């Protein structure tokens, strides 16, 4: 009988290789890995680096390949873990950048859109608890996503009461919008719901209802400065963005207190005063989660005097859309859940009970900015005056 030894050996080798490839993609088998959440942001006040974060369901070392002009470069994350975070250098932050996350057997595509000097588009959302369809925002192709607070209902309904480090509510948000978070960097601002660790009942309880330090939020979103306040500057667009920790200010001094101190001697106020007074960018936007009119009235108007140095101040306080104009500053309220009670600003120019977001467009030649309040169907509800920088002054056309 003719020997089949060599044929059998070849067949066994092919079978072993195929079986190995198959088993590498089976959950629970060493080498199998799935990337379950990806998001981008910034930990520094300038766009010199992109902070890339991702979660894998098994501890794995990872590599990130990214495009630097015509060249592909690679960064190694050699420590096996499920929580990954790397800084990707941006030699030119105006350029788009394709990114590939290589974790175990998984390859995940990510796209950084870049921050063009001309035609920069920024979306702003708040009150994300209802998890609406955000197709209209994706259709606008924003380069950056900002928020004005309240991304989740609370922490305790998912994590249990008193747990300050539980990040699952935020990861669920990220997983629900994979295309958005893999294509648009996010710089979020805190709301009270983002740190609610116990139910808020009829009167202040013995233990704090909110984690003022917002540990879970700050673990997920690595931000510039202290994290609970931050600033980010895009020099190529002449824009400085500032995020503040302001919400439920009337509960200060009780176990309902949800934000850091905001008095004249507070760390937050002194930091904000320095940022605003030293700002050299033509356009300045501040984001927070308290009612704009309430903040303007605090401590004899000290906050209003700093707000007056802004192009716009954006809040996610109420469940409605609004633009108010006072002393040359545009005060917006935006909310993805826009059909709640309305608390109009005394200087209100426009109010709408519509689910909404903001789209900011910045152009460089000439240096100008325009802000549109849009419905989640993509309809423009209100358009601000075009703000143009001429001879060191910003004027509304």
pLDDT of residue 387: 75
Q: Between vectors from CA 76 to CA 73 and to CA 79, what angle results, nearest 5°?
A: 170
The rounded distance, in Å, linking the Cα atoms of 225 and 265 is 18
What's the mean pLDDT in 27-43?
80
Query: Which class in CATH covers the domain with range 120-396?
Result: alpha beta
Rg of the chain (C-alpha set): 24
* 35-112 placed in CATH 2.60.40.10: yes
Domain segments of the chain as ranges: 35-112, 120-396
Greater model confidence, 198 or 21: 198
What's the mean pLDDT in 104-129?
95
- Asked whether residue 225 carries a pLDDT value surpassing 70, the answer given is yes
- Asked whether residue 12 carries a pLDDT value surpassing 50, the answer given is no
Residue 166: count other Cβ atoms within 10 Å of its Cβ.
18
pLDDT of residue 31: 56
Q: What is the pTM of this model?
A: 0.91
Give Cα 42 distance to the centre of its chain. 9
Q: Is 280 exposed, middle or buried, given 0-12, 13-18 or 19+ CB atoms closer than 10 A? A: exposed
- Asked whether residue 335 carries a pLDDT value surpassing 70, the answer given is yes
9-18, 46-55, 326-335: segment of lowest average pLDDT? 9-18
Strands 367-375 and 387-390: antiparallel
The rounded distance, in Å, linking the Cα atoms of 390 and 192 is 39
- Provide, rounded to the nearest whole percent, the portion of the chain with pLDDT above 70: 90
- Asked whether residue 313 carries a pLDDT value surpassing 90, the answer given is yes
Find out whether 271 and 265 touch, Cβ atoms under 8 Å: no
pLDDT of residue 27: 43
Find out whether 110 and 86 touch, Cβ atoms under 8 Å: no
What's the mean pLDDT in 348-369?
95
């Amino acid at each position: 009988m003719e020997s089949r030894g060599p044929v059998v050996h070849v067949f066994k080798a092919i079978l072993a290789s195929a079986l190995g490839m198959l088993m590498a993609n089976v959950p629970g088998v060493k080498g199998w890995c799935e990337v379950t959440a990806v998001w981008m942001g910034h930990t520094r006040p300038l766009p010199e680096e992109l902070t890339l974060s991702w979660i894998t369901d098994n501890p794995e070392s990872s590599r990130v390949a990214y495009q630097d002009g015509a060249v592909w470069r690679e960064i190694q994350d050699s420590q096996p873990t499920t929580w990954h975070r790397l800084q990707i250098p941006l030699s030119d932050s105006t350029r788009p950048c394709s990114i590939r996350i290589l974790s175990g057997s998984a390859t995940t595509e990510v796209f950084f859109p870049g921050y063009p000097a001309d035609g920069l588009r920024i979306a702003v959302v708040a009150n994300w608890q209802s998890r609406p369809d955000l197709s209209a925002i994706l259709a606008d192709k924003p380069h950056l996503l900002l928020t004005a607070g309240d991304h989740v209902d609370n922490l305790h309904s998912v994590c249990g009461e008193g747990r300050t480090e539980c990040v699952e509510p935020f990861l669920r948000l990220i997983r629900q919008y994979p295309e958005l978070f893999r294509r648009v960097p996010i710089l979020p601002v805190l709301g009270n719901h983002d740190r609610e660790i116990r139910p808020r009942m009829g009167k202040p309880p013995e233990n704090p209802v909110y984690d003022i330090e917002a540990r879970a939020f700050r673990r997920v979103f690595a931000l510039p400065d202290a994290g609970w306040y931050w600033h980010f500057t895009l020099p190529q667009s002449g824009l400085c963005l500032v995020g503040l920790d302001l919400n439920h200010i009337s509960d200060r001094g009780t176990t309902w207190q949800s934000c850091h101190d905001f008095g004249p001697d507070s760390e937050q106020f002194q930091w904000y005063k320095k940022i605003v007074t030293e700002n050299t960018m033509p356009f300045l936007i501040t984001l927070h989660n308290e009612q704009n009119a309430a903040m303007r009235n605090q401590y004899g108007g000290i906050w209003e005097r700093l707000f007056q140095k802004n192009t716009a101040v954006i809040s996610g306080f109420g469940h409605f859309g609004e633009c108010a104009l006072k002393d040359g500053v545009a005060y917006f309220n935006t909310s993805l859940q826009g059909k709640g009670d309305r608390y109009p600003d005394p200087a209100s120019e426009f109010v709408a009970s519509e689910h909404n977001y903001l789209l900011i467009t910045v152009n460089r030649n000439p240096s100008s900015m325009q802000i549109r309040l849009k419905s989640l169907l993509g309809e423009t509800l209100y358009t601000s005056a075009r703000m143009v920088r001429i001879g060191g002054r910003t004027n509304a056309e």
